[in-house]
DNA sequence: CGTCTATTTGAATGTACTCAAAAGCGGTGG
DNA sequence: CCACCGCTTTTGAGTACATTCAAATAGACG
């Protein structure tokens, strides 16, 4: 029942009648992604917004020296895309890869635009998503400005205990903005 | 004409008839803030969302050691508040201070809620604000993860040339996440 | 003019990085 | 099922970027 989770997620914010529900679901399609497969590649158009039905994904970007920075991890029931490029029809600046064999429900940018035009009640749902995303990123900025590497690591563990099992140390380091070597040292010092 | 700017700002996203316009404006009130005056103090309820009609504001928070971190600067026609606490009716974790003698147009959280309920078309306006805020913060996270202090400084100058004139070096340093002393060195090396 | 804060400068320090080598682990194919 | 390959993790030495602390100078404001 991939769509049950999706509906539940959206109905937290909007009450839907049968017609709206049917129309909404008609816009999503299911897509399986194998572990290590890329859902989005830097430079490609970013046409889809993804709901994680099952599995785990990661978005990251590369700087000019080839260093990876993880933007976010997405577990079950999370949404993920390269939001800036999705919203502005720009070529992607990020990669999105599957950390495990996963299943996503994807909606095309045009479909989302149509949805919001045809049924403006969905505006609220999307607004709340953006609100939450904004305040989450703002907290992350503050943490990056004020915390030491070790404190950032501790906070990540406390905030996202489920994510830690799905990712490598290198991926976590690239989310925290430190080197994998140094994260290794931090972990050793905890023992 | 403080309200003309406000209207123009909102009408970029929503077309309003006379009734909607009148209702909207009835929810805002004008407030003058002197330089160095606080619009919001940590721990206080954060009931208002502010539109900068004139002047310049800054939001920042203090960590446990008393170190300031600037969250954002807001010039004319920008919006500012402690968004997380505003949306969730929590006590503020930030301060908002006037950098110059300023005038803001403020709307109460309850008024905004009523506005969105009564005229759902405003959802789109607020959604777009949140979208832009989100993608901006995400870029800032990426910059913090990938750039050196000097690169962050250069990027800030390029992106916000108008802000630089309104703020002290200490305030800029606390936005970039470096010490004022080190920013002084960076600047000296440019000459 | 005097006071308070911001900025500059420099020396000593620290946190985290780079580079390199070894060990561990997971997946793949024979 | 084991052996091998590639990637991740560990470990350590040397280094760099940025901080801390302190003192001197400059600027802003009443």
- In angstroms, how far is C10 C1' from B182 CA? 12
Q: Which residues of B touch A146 (CB under 8 A)?
A: 63, 67, 69
Q: Is B181 (CB) below 7 Å from strand C?
A: yes
Which tens digits make up the pLDDT trace of B154-176?
Answer: 999 999 999 999 999 999 999 99
Q: What angle do CA B181, B96, A133 make, to 5 degrees?
A: 95
Spell out the residues 6+ positions from residue A172 whose beta carbon is closer than 8 angstroms to its own: A70, A153, A156, A164, A183
Residues of chain A with pLDDT under 70: none
CA atoms within 13 A on the CB side of A115: 23
Closest approach of A27 to chain B, Cα-based (Å): 20
Residues of chain B with pLDDT under 70: none
**Which domains are present in chain B?**
2-121 (2.60.120.10)
- In angstroms, how far is D7 C1' from A17 CA? 51
Which tens digits make up the pLDDT trace of A113-166?
Answer: 999 999 999 999 999 999 999 999 999 999 999 999 999 999 999 999 999 999
The sheet carrying A95-98 orders its strands as A38-40, A95-98, A57-62, A68-74
With CA atoms as reference, the chain A residue closest to B122 would be A123
With CA atoms as reference, the chain B residue closest to A62 would be B146
Residue B81 near residue B49 (C-beta atoms within 8 A): yes
Q: What is the pTM of this model?
A: 0.94
Name B residues 112-151 whose Cβ lies under 7 Å from strand D: 148-150
């Amino acid at each position: 029942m991939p769509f049950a989770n999706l509906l539940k997620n959206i109905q937290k914010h909007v009450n839907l009648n049968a017609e709206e529900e049917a129309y909404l679901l008609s816009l999503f399609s299911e897509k399986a992604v194998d572990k290590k497969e890329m859902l989005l590649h830097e430079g490609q158009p970013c046409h889809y917004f993804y709901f994680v039905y099952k599995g785990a994904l990661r978005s990251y970007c590369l700087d000019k020296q080839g260093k990876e920075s993880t933007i976010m991890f997405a577990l079950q029931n999370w949404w993920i895309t390269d939001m800036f490029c999705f919203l502005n029809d720009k070529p992607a600046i990020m990669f999105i890869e599957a950390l495990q064999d996963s299943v996503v429900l994807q909606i095309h940018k045009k479909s989302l635009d149509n949805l919001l035009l045809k049924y403006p009640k969905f505006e609220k749902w999307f607004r709340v998503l953006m609100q939450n995303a904004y305040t989450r990123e703002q907290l992350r900025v503050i943490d990056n400005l004020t915390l030491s590497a070790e404190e950032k690591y501790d906070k990540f563990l406390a905030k996202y205990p489920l994510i830690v099992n799905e990712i490598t140390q290198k991926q976590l380091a690239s989310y925290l903005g430190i080197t994998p070597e140094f994260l290794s040292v931090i972990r050793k010092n905890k023992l």
